[in-house]
Amino acid sequence: MLIDTPSPNNRITLDPQGEPQVEYTLSDPDKARFGRGVAEAVRIMFLAGAKQVYLPTTEDILGGAGGAASTEAHAAILTNKEQADLVERRLQFVPNRTIVTSAHLQSSNKMGSSPENSVVSREFRVWGTEGLYVVDGSVFPTSIGANPMQSIYTFAKIFADRMAAKR
């Protein structure tokens, strides 16, 4: 798991047709840490007995001489543990060439004290919008670095208790 460095340039916007667009770039130090982590995971998989490891990238991480069994449209196929060194040195996380995913998206609707520094108030209300509340992992000010399930449950309970008390 990578806890990425917050950046004001990473955001969700709407295109001219009103469709959401994710603007997200890893910082150079994050890319280096993530590359080391991916390489270590590759080493572990081969040590555990893997015969091939698929990386979701079209970047030329093997340099044409890495000994890959084959290359598929959306993956580099590694065939030995030593190729992890190439991954660590060459994987750059180029947008639209390497797939980066998250199971626990966080911080896209940050909670804060004012609309200048956040999307959601401390009462979970979207600034400038009546009756619209956000109560999920997107309200965290940054990644909490772990599965956010318990924190989200806690936020939901606090929100529900406050709403029930108002009625």
Domain end position, chosen among 101, 122, 141:
101
Tell me the three state secondary structure of residue 90. helix
Tens digits of residue pLDDT in 36-88: 999 999 999 999 999 999 999 999 998 865 444 445 568 999 999 999 999 99
Q: Say whether both 39 and 91 belong to one domain.
A: yes
Overall domain count for the chain: 2
Rounded CA separation 108/73 (Å): 31
Tens digits of residue pLDDT in 100-138: 887 788 888 889 999 998 999 999 999 999 999 999 999
Indicate the pTM of the whole model.
0.72
Q: Are strands 53-55 and 71-72 parallel, antiparallel or unpaired?
A: unpaired
Rounded CA separation 101/56 (Å): 10
Q: Say whether both 108 and 146 belong to one domain.
A: yes
What domain range is 125 assigned to?
102-166
Rounded CA separation 120/113 (Å): 8
